[in-house]
Amino acid sequence: MNGPAAAVLLSSAIFVGGLGIAIKYFGHTELIAGYDPDTVTDEGGLASFVGTNILVVAGLLLALAVLESTQPADGAATDAAWIGFLIVVFALTGWLIVGSRRFERGE
């Protein structure tokens, strides 16, 4: 069990989840890095797409926090979870970059 790591992960999940909710449900697209209102064609679609994926990351952080608080700190399950987390977050980052372009007007 790694209490400090679990606490940091839980805090991160709450923060990232708050960002996801603000973007998806309240339309705060200005929180999206690189957002340019002059090039976006569907602001609501962009907010939904990005917000949903950010909420997925928050869920992954929450799952990792639970795992960190219940498994031994040096356990194989914890190591595998961290590797899986990194792979999924990198994949989601790529998906967000590529997928967000469909909401931009071509130049």
pLDDT digits (tens, 9 = 90+) for 26-50: 999 999 999 999 999 999 999 999 9
pLDDT of the residue at 46: 97
Which residue bears the tokens 């799952």?
Answer: 63
Contact 47, 19 (CB under 8 A): no
Instruction: Enter the pTM of the model.
Output: 0.91
Residue 104 φ then ψ, to 5°: -105, 150
Euclidean distance between CA atoms 56 and 79, whole angstroms: 20
- The pair of three-digit structure tokens given for residue 56, joined into one six-digit string: 């997925």
Contact 59, 89 (CB under 8 A): no
